[in-house]
Amino acid sequence: MSLAAARTITSAAREVVDTALARLAVDSQKDGRIDLELMDREQQLAYDLASAASRVTAAEEMLAYGEQGEYQAQLTLAFAGEMAADLAARMAGREQTWALAADAAWHGEAFTDAFRAARSTQLLEDLGDRALRSPDLPRDLGEEMQMVRGTFKDFAEQKVMPIAEHVHREDADIPDEIIAELSEMGCFGLSIPEEHGGFAEGESENDFMSMVAVTEELSRGSLGAAGSLITRPEILSKALVGGGTDAQKERWLPGIAAGELMCGVAVTEPDFGSDVAGIKVSATRDGDSYVINGVKTWCTFGGKANLLMVLARTDPDRSLRHRGLSLFVVEKPSFPGHAFEYTSPLGGRMEAKAIPTLGYRGMHSFEISFEDYRVPVDNLVGGEEKLGKGFYLQMDAFANGRLQTAARANGVMQAAFEAAVTYAGERNVFGVPLGSYGLTKTKLGRMAATIAASRAFSYRSAALLGAGSGQMEASMVKCFSCLAAEWLTREALQIHGGFGYAEEYAVSRYFVDARVLSIFEGADETLALRVIIRQLLQEAL
């Protein structure tokens, strides 16, 4: 009955979203294509639709999970209720703009009954009770992936968690031992083909499932001290595998896979963040070199990195926008700490300083200035054939990063959830265990359903990417899971009361770390308005 009710809710919600998409698509089209200027006249609706569609898709992907047992079905129903409540709030007072018909299933008796069942406080309290007995939710992983997950779970608990607070509070470097051991475990070659020293089989679901499972467990240990170490190698490797020359693949991929070459990504600039097509950093051809000038910012791990993936303007005609951009691999020594200066023997220099952040410490995000920094022509990703196509190479590469960010969100959520469960089980309030209160159980039940949904959606996105598609789903799961992590870590901190605000408890770290998730690898608003909704509207035409 739980699963049937979840299907009823999800089907009605899908109809609501698709109807609104069809209406907005008609009003936003020009000559058979979506016109951004027309769409932006209803930007609030466009954003709400992208966010709601991501949640509805998460609920749909969770239905298969719900078929695996009673507990999974209850979690599925609870999340369907959460999704529908969010959708109702977005529509409230704006039903006309959503083109919601009077005879829509959303208004029907079947939906109303199912929605009431999903929003039942008894259901949520029962899920909270179950969480108090064990916060380890059922996972839809095969035996092989469970073994992979178990290996990195043990590593995170034995090696990462003991140093996580020190790295966070002191904004310290990630210990070299952590990087070395992850290298030995093959952590940096998960998506690199076997012929280049990695473990990817090519067009295989397992390639991306391994990355998701490993990333979640490392992020559960610490987002800043371990969970994000794989991200930049994944992005650069994807760009090289997808667009690099054979010589470039042979030159860099084995070293990345072995953990001998650490990676950074230098795309964002002080004046251009998500609006990548407007970047100013230039790369000018001079003989057998390109000369790079300008400033990149938010280059995470840029100090320790040996390789920087730099997106630069190779055509001075700025009216070309993204068509004048190319991608380079910039080599440099690895530097510890929060600042460095380097003069290249080829000519030119770079100067960098880490940006202080409220969370996500350990990785260090740098602002890097390039002054006549010379890069060999051979470092242009894809060679002359890919000149001016760097935007597309980095966009393809960022699909990996977005899925991995969702996995990072899952790890942070799981850690915060476990902390909340532990504290609720140990703390007495007014002489009664905190976990015995109905509101506490309801909070925990909602957390459990949200984590289960995000995880199910991540697994499905990994399968799609492994099959050669799934870029849209990777964007949607990133959109959903990162905002979910902000909410969930806030609730986990609140359960801790005053102690949650003290650095004595790790939940305060989870809270500030989660805040970065909906900003990097595509800010939430830009991802919704320039990636997700554009494709949804185009498909709706």
Is residue 534 scored above 70 in pLDDT? Answer: yes
> Residue 479 falls within a domain, yes or no?
no
> Residue 231 falls within a domain, yes or no?
no
Q: Model-level pTM?
A: 0.95
Is residue 274 scored above 70 in pLDDT? Answer: no
Query: Could you give the C-alpha distances from 83 to 9, 87, 416, in angstroms and in order?
Result: 9, 6, 21
Domain containing 319: what range?
A: 263-391
Rounded Cα gap, residues 211 and 231, in angstroms: 9
Rounded Cα gap, residues 132 and 95, in angstroms: 39
Band of pLDDT at residue 317, cut at 50, 70 and 90: confident
Is residue 139 scored above 90 in pLDDT? Answer: yes
Structural domains of the chain, count: 2
Cα dihedral angle (314, 320, 322, 323), rounded to 10 degrees? -70
Q: CB neighbours of 387 closer than 8 A, spacing ≥ 6?
A: 314, 326, 380
CA proximity to 44, closest of 91, 84, 101: 91
Instruction: Provide the phi-psi class of 156: left if phi over 0, else alpha when psi is between -120 and 50, else beta.
Output: alpha
> Residue 524 falls within a domain, yes or no?
no
Mean pLDDT of 494-521: 95
> Residue 142 falls within a domain, yes or no?
no
Task: Calculate helix-pair angle for 43-66, 438-466, nearest 10 degrees.
Answer: 90
Final residue of a domain: which of 353, 368, 391?
391
> Residue 379 falls within a domain, yes or no?
yes
Q: Could you tell me the CATH number of the domain that includes residue 382?
A: 2.40.110.10
**Placement of tokens 């899908």 in the chain:** 14
- As a whole number, the mean pLDDT across the chain is 95
CB 79 within 8 A of CB 72: no
Tokens of 192: 């690199």
Band of pLDDT at residue 140, cut at 50, 70 and 90: confident
Query: Could you give the C-alpha distances from 112 to 115, 157, 187, 373, in angstroms and in order?
Result: 5, 44, 47, 64
Tokens of 30: 């020009």
pLDDT, position 203: 59
Residue of 157, 205, 521, 525 marked catalytic = 521
Tens digit of each residue's pLDDT (9 = 90 or more) over 346-368: 999 999 999 999 999 999 999 99
Rounded Cα gap, residues 472 and 470, in angstroms: 5
Q: Could you tell me the CATH number of the domain that includes residue 109?
A: 1.20.140.10
> Residue 24 falls within a domain, yes or no?
yes
Active site residue 521: yes
